[in-house]
Amino acid sequence: TSLLYRMTNDKIPQISVVGIPDLYIPQQDQLGALKQFSNNLFSIDTLTIPDNSDKSDGVEVLPDADFAIPAETDTLLVIDTAEQDFTDQALTEIDRYLQTGNAVFFINSPSISDNLQTGPTEDGLISLLQKYGLSVQNNIILSSNAEFVNMGSNGFSIFVPYPMWLWSSDFNSDAAYFAGIGRLTFPWASSIDVKNIKGRDIKEIIRTGKESWSQTGTFSLNPQQIAEPGSDMLKTFTIAAESSSKTNKIMAIGSSRFILSSYLSQQSQNLDFIFNVLSDYASDGALSGITSRAVNIYPLPELPAQVQDTYKYSNILLLPAIFAVFGTWRLWKRNKQD
């Protein structure tokens, strides 16, 4: 089907990415999994924001070096990494593009570096999204729906649930992006508040489970130092939202690592979801279903604590009860024979 699409279409949808360096070594390319998954149905190009800080190293860089989004861009992906500074000129160019262009923002507040240090928020991107009714909050969301991470040293390692890498299957059924999607993973997610804007349709499209809570102010990313939440802290949070109008669509996903190769979970379908979004944004839905995969995991629905306790204690008591009944029957039968 993908070959047929390429043969019958003169133009392949153009996806421009900003915020991730363009690496020529495939093993180091954080967009490598996305590029491979797209199966040449999209042309994915990385845009570089000029770094004026190089002037201090004796390299001549114009103080206002231009950053331009190509006119042929069908969808812009903005990835807010801690290593990338968005200059005023780059923010102005992104703002200009958003007047009529479609975009997906992957954004954290605070920013989190690869060595697990939290840093200042990219206020320019935050303010830009607020103009469209999407407000990324300065927090990190934790959840009992946690992915397992590998911990250990000196040849010893164990897999433990890490609440800051949460997964969700709570999707907005009104959105058309979840065909074949069973679950999505959000490494270090921030919540998103929405605000009505005249002329725009605002949707909350992904929420966390009910057993979720947030860290604010001082952040502790070490899984061994995460305190247990109080019952009054548990609630659901919006972690992805969309703002659309007659001229464009803008989506905000509260995790800057949502599509990066090193952070993809085998149990989740982040790339399938993004492919569905890009199919709608960049090709008006023409690519929907081309790479749809069978859902190999169906997350169990969340159960109230009382129901969970009922199942737990039933399992604890049921097996001994069965053996007790069986033993009583054997004794009764033996005594009857004697």
| pLDDT digit string, tens, across residues 54-82 | 544 544 444 556 889 999 999 999 999 88
What mean pLDDT do residues 297-310 have?
55
Specify the pairing of strand 249-253 against strand 238-244. Answer: antiparallel
Question: Are both 335 and 266 inside the same structural domain?
Answer: no
- Confidence (pLDDT) at 306: 60
In this predicted structure, what is the pLDDT of residue 3?
47
> What's the angle, vertex CA 292, arms to CA 236 and CA 242, rounded to 5?
40
Q: Across residues 154-169, what is the average pLDDT?
A: 84
Residue 77 tokens, joined: 């992906």
Distance (Å, rounded) from C-alpha 271 to C-alpha 285?
16
Please compute the mean of the pLDDT values over residues 98-102 and round it to a whole number: 95
Q: Provide the pLDDT for residue 319.
A: 77
Residues 126, 157: one domain?
Answer: yes
Shared domain check, 43 and 153: yes
The C-alpha atoms of residue 207 and residue 170 are separated, in whole angstroms, by 5
- Return d(Cα 73, Cα 42) in angstroms, integer: 11
C-beta neighbour count of 26 within 10 angstroms: 10
| Confidence at residue 294, expressed as pLDDT on a 0 to 100 scale | 42
Higher pLDDT, 116 or 183: 183
Most confident of 63-67, 281-285, 296-300: 281-285
Check residue 60 and give its pLDDT. Answer: 47
Query: Is the four-CA dihedral 52, 55, 59, 60 of positive or negative sign?
Result: positive
Residue 317: domain span: 304-338
pLDDT, mean of residues 310-325? 76
The answer to whether 221 and 112 have CB atoms below 8 angstroms apart is yes
Residues 6 or more apart whose CB falls under 8 angstroms from that of 86 comprise 19, 49, 80, 94, 122, 124, 125
**Residue 179 predicted with pLDDT over 90:** no
Position 159 scores a pLDDT of 82
Kindly report the pTM of this predicted structure: 0.80
Q: Rounded distance, CA 183 to CA 69, Å?
A: 32
**3-state percent helix, strand, coil for the chain, nearest multiple of 5:** 30, 25, 45
Task: Extract the tokens encoding 239.
Answer: 């972690």
Q: Please give the structure tokens belonging to residue 102.
A: 């479609």
Say whether both 155 and 259 belong to one domain.
Answer: yes
Q: Where does 52-97 show beta strands of DSSP type E?
A: 75-79
In terms of domains, do 298 and 308 share one?
A: no
Give yes or no: residues 314 and 189 share one domain. no
Domain count, the chain: 2
Both 12 and 147 in one domain: the answer is yes
3-state secondary structure of 13: coil
The verdict on 289 and 338 lying in the same domain is no
The percentage of the chain sitting over the pLDDT mark of 70, rounded to a whole number, equals 81
Res 297: pLDDT: 46
Nearest Cα to 51, choosing from 65, 68, 34, 71? 65
Q: What pLDDT sits at residue 160?
A: 86
Report yes or no: 48 and 71 within 8 Å, Cβ to Cβ. no
- Report whether pLDDT(98) > 50: yes
pLDDT of 309 over the 70 cut: no
- Using only C-alpha atoms, what is the Rg of the chain? 24
Residues 52 and 112 in one domain: yes
Question: Does 118 share its domain with 140?
Answer: yes
Note whether 292 and 332 are same-domain residues: no
Mark whether 309 and 298 lie in a shared domain.
Answer: no
Q: What is the CATH number of the domain that holds 264?
A: 3.40.50
